[in-house]
Amino acid sequence: MKGYAEYKVPEGKLVKVKVEMQDGNITSLQILGDFFVHPEHHIEEIEKHLCGLSASNRAVFFEKKVREIVKKRKTHLVGVTEEAIGIAVKEAVRSAQASGGE
């Protein structure tokens, strides 16, 4: 199942998330938008860190996972927050569930 969501950060940028799920878990995730991540390749690490997680998790859980990798890798987010990414991930998961019946 595939899902997509957009979330506008208050006073910030647009976050877009594409997600693929199977058996209730996130199998693929892409985070896009008009924000900045430094170093740039850390966005891929954030995506990998979220893959394999259960779709039943709440947005705050996804936020926590993003915060963990951002802190561990000393990543700088500009125009976006960990919370915004977590919300967009959860909305993309909901989109996939609505379209696929899981």
24 and 1 Cβ atoms separated by less than 8 Å: no
Written as six digits, the tokens of 30 are 């892409």
Q: What is the pLDDT of residue 19?
A: 97
Q: Is the dihedral of CA 18, 9, 37, 85 positive or negative?
A: negative
* Contact in structure between 28 and 19 (CB atoms under 8 Å): yes
Model confidence pLDDT, tens digit, residues 38-89: 999 999 999 999 999 999 999 999 999 999 999 999 999 999 999 999 999 9
How do residues 12-39 score in pLDDT, each as one tens digit? Answer: 899 999 999 999 999 999 999 999 999 9
Report yes or no on whether pTM surpasses 0.85.
yes
CATH node for 2-100: 3.30.390.50
